[in-house]
Structures are given as structure tokens and as C-alpha cells.
Structure 1
Amino acid sequence: MYKISEFAAITGLTKETLRYYAEVKLLEPAYINPHNNYRYYDDGSYFLATLLGKLRRFGFTIQEMISVTEDESFYHLEDLLIQKRENIQLKIEDLCKQTEEIDDFLKSGREDKNDD
């Protein structure tokens, strides 16, 4: 069993994040000491904590993460990841278009100065 600070260190999640995940029933401690309310996590929690950390870095919302964990078979995880990837790709394309527009705008401003 790991205290919350130890578990945070090995998973890369903060203690605050672990407390919040417990609050929203996303990742609950394996045991809470009734005398001091210390939270303890076990090795079984490690896989889920690692998965949640990855999903968060991939831009999943808390609700999406809850949906993934409720589907214990992770049957829809691949579909969600593909959809998330497609959304990211669309954002990248949009940002590239925006940078091109900025470059064109800057270029047109320079051309106007050269005409003077």
C-alpha cells in the first residue's frame, strides 16, 4: 500500500489531482484509514492512475475519463482515442491556416510600406 504522497510520486499525478479523482469517483483509494483519514493506494490502482494521466495529457475531459473507466472492458477507448486524434489534427490544420493568414497579412503590410 502506498500513501497518497508516495502514490503521487510514482504516478506523476499530484495529491490534489488524486483527491479530486476520488471525489468524482474516478480513482478512489484502496483504503482510507478511519482514524486519520489517510488515503492508501495499491498496485491495482497504478494501472488506472497511469491510464488517467495519459488520457488527461491527451486532452480528455473528466466526463470522458469517467466514461472510459465505467466501460471496464475499455471497448470504446480506441474509438475515443481515434476521435481525439482527429480533433487534434483538425486543430493543427486550423492553426496552420491562421499562421498563413498572419504571414500574408504581415507581408501585405510590408509591401504597402515599400510602395511609399
Structure 2
Amino acid sequence: MYKVSEFAEITGLSKNTLRYYAEEKLLEPAYIDPNNHYRYYDDGSYFLAILLIKLRRLGFTIQEMRTVMKDESFENLEKLLVQKKEKIQMQIDDLEEQLEEIDDFLASGKEEQE
């Protein structure tokens, strides 16, 4: 079992983030001491923390992370990742379109100056 400070250090998550994730039911402590209310995490918590870190890096919202964590089998994780990938690709396409519009606009301004 790891105390909050130890768990924060090994995962790279801040104590505040761990508290927030517990409030959001994303990553709850494995054990809470009834006497002093200290929170403890275990090795299973470590796996879940690493998953949450990865999901955040992939741009998942808290709601999307909650969906993943509720599905304990992670059966739908692949589907969610594919959806996220498609959304990112659409954003890339939109940004490339904007770049083309900017280039066209700049080119038309140069033509008018000549």
C-alpha cells in the first residue's frame, strides 16, 4: 500500500489531482484508514493511474475517462480510441483547410500588389 504522497511521486500525479480523481470516482483509494482518514493506494491503483494519465495525454475529457473507468473490462476502450482518433483527424483536416485558406488569401494579396 502506498500513502498519497508516495503514490503521487511514483505516478507523477499531484495530490490535488488524486483528490480530484477520487471525487470524480475515477481513481478512488484502495483503502481509507477509518481512524485518521489517510488514503492508501495499491498496485491495481497504479495501473489505473497510468491509464488515466495516458487518456489525458490522448485528449480524453473527464466524462470520457469516467466512461472508460466504469467499463471495468475496458471492452469499449478500443471503440472510444477509434472515435477519438477520428475526431482528431477531422480537426487536422479542418486545420489543413484553414492553412490553405490563409495561403490563398496571402497569395491573392500579393497578386493585387503586383
Give me the TM-score of the superposition, normalised by structure 1. Answer: 0.89
Instruction: Find the residue that maps to 1:86 and give its secondary structure.
Output: helix
The match for 2:92 is: 92
Per-residue deviation, 1:12 = 2.2
Partner residue in 2 for 1:59: 59
Report 1:36-51 matches (<5 A). Answer: 36-51=36-51
Q: Residue by residue, what CA displacement relative to the aligned partner does 1:17-63 show, whole Å, maximum 9, x if unpaired?
A: 11101001110111223444332211110111111111111111111
Q: CA RMSD in A?
A: 1.4
What is the TM-score of this pair, normalised by structure 2? 0.90
Instruction: Give me the whole-angstrom Cα distance separating, in 2, the residues matched to 1:38 and 1:111.
Output: 69
Please give the alpha-carbon distance, in whole angstroms, between the structure 2 residues aligned to 1:33 and 1:91: 46
Identical aligned pairs, as a percentage? 72
Gap regions ≥5 residues in structure 1 = none
Q: Secondary structure at the match of 2:69?
A: helix
* Alignment correspondent of 1:82: 82
Q: Distance in 1 between matches of 2:15 and 2:66?
A: 19
CA-CA distance at 1:9 after TM superposition? 2.0
Separation of aligned partners in 2, 1:113 and 1:8:
59
Secondary structure, counterpart of 2:21 in structure 1: helix
* Residues matched between the structures, number: 114
How far apart, CA to CA, are the structure 1 residues paired with 2:36 and 2:110?
A: 68
Unmatched segments (≥5 aa) in structure 2: none
